[in-house]
Chains A and B, each alone.
Chain A
Amino acid sequence: SQTIHQWPATLVQPVGSPLSLECTVEGTSNPNLYWYRQAAGRGLQLLFYSVGIGQISSEVPQNLSASRPQDRQFILSSKKLLLSDSGFYLCAWSIVGGDEQFFGPGTRLTVL
């Protein structure tokens, strides 16, 4: 069966510090991968999606970037965090040709 991991589970970072969140998927090959952010009182917002290694599409202009160095690894990064980057970050995957998405446990990021 497939599983999706995210770490860390929680993170508290000062403004201006760098960020690296990691997501890995097990039990499937060549998945589509997604990063979402869920801010307090707001719905989920799609940030990035990837259909293959090195292929990243950004949905909204922002202070964040994403990379996919391996088939089942998706990384969310920032060089300098802003207060507005605080939120709950969720990684998701789907099979190629399928649309059902499966989510990881999330990372709670607090920028102080």
Chain B
Amino acid sequence: KQEVTQIPAALSVPEGENLVLNCSFTDSAIYNLQWFRQDPGKGLTSLLLIQSSQREQTSGRLNASLDKSSGRSTLYIAASQPGDSATYLCAVSRTDSWGKFQFGAGTQVVVTP
């Protein structure tokens, strides 16, 4: 069974620092990996989707990398801002269960002014 782990569970950084969020998974036979942001009491906002054939995706200040062989993905957020404070979740889907995501528990990020 696929297990997805996000470490650390919580992270606090001063404004302007770069954020590095980690996601690890136990089964490398993944179809896709998706990063989400969740604000308190809200739904999930899709940030980046990395297909299994890709190594990274970029959107603005966000960059996500994928290393299937080591079972890891990293989300980088450059020059963090207080508005980046949220919980960040990663999710993976397997090649034999397309569309069914397994989620990590998330990393709660606080960016202090």
Residue numbers of A with Cβ under 8 A of B are 6, 32, 34, 42-46, 49, 59, 90, 92, 94, 99-106, 108
Contacts and interface: CB of A to CB of B under 8 A. Distances in A.
Nearest to B48: A100
A102 B99 CA distance: 12
B44 A46 contact: no
A43 B103 contact: yes
A99 B44 contact: no
Contacts of B93: 99
A32 B36 CA distance: 19
Contacts of A43: 4, 89, 103-106
Interface string B4-40: 1000000000000000000000000001101010000
Interface of B: 4, 31-32, 34, 36, 41-46, 49, 51, 89, 91, 93, 98-101, 103-106
Given A99-B49, A99-B93, A100-B49, A105 B103 contact: no
Contacts of B101: 44, 46, 101
14 contacts: A43-B104, A44-B89, A44-B91, A46-B100, A92-B44, A94-B99, A99-B31, A100-B46, A100-B49, A103-B36, A103-B43, A103-B44, A103-B45, A105-B43
Given A99-B93, A99-B98, A100-B49, A106 B106 contact: no
B100 A59 contact: yes
B98 to A, nearest CB: 6
Given A44-B89, A108-B41, A101 B103 contact: no
Contacts of B89: 43-44
